[in-house]
Amino acid sequence: MPTKTKVKKPTRSIASEKASSTRTGSRASHSDWKNLVQGFVENVFEQLSDNVSQKVHAWIKMLKRKTVGSILIILGLIYLIVGLAQYVNSILSLFLPGLGYAIIGVLVMLVGYVLSSDK
């Protein structure tokens, strides 16, 4: 005996299927634009981040170099001032011992005051 097979009736109409496919196409298009914009923004931020990172590393390298140079200049100035004070003291030690150190100390304080003033 032959068996009867049930034929399924479509539950959706052709018009609703077309509308559905249009909506999914719209969603895909929206998704494509979203991905495109996100990719563009990511690339811009990545390039910006790399650029800033390179500038920061260059600035830190320059800062280290200038700091070491400044420390060496300060040490050199200290030796220069002490040597100058000893020289002046050796000349003036006949009158008052230590007068050379006092004179050089006052001169250094005056130079520091002039350099630090806002005028």
Q: Which residues contact 100 (CB under 8 A, 6 or more apart)?
A: 85, 86, 87, 88, 89, 90, 91, 92, 93
Mean pLDDT of 91-115: 83
Tell whether pTM > 0.75.
no
- Segments making up each domain of the chain, as ranges: 16-116
* Predicted local distance difference test score (pLDDT) of residue 84: 86
Q: What would the pLDDT profile of 30-51 be if each residue is shown by its tens digit? A: 788 888 888 888 888 888 888 8
Q: What is the pLDDT of residues 76-96, one digit of tens each?
A: 888 888 888 888 888 887 878
In whole angstroms, how far apart are CA 36 and each of 24, 48, 49, 92?
A: 18, 18, 20, 82
Would you call 28 exposed, middle or buried from its count of C-beta atoms within 10 A (0-12, 13-18, 19+)?
A: exposed
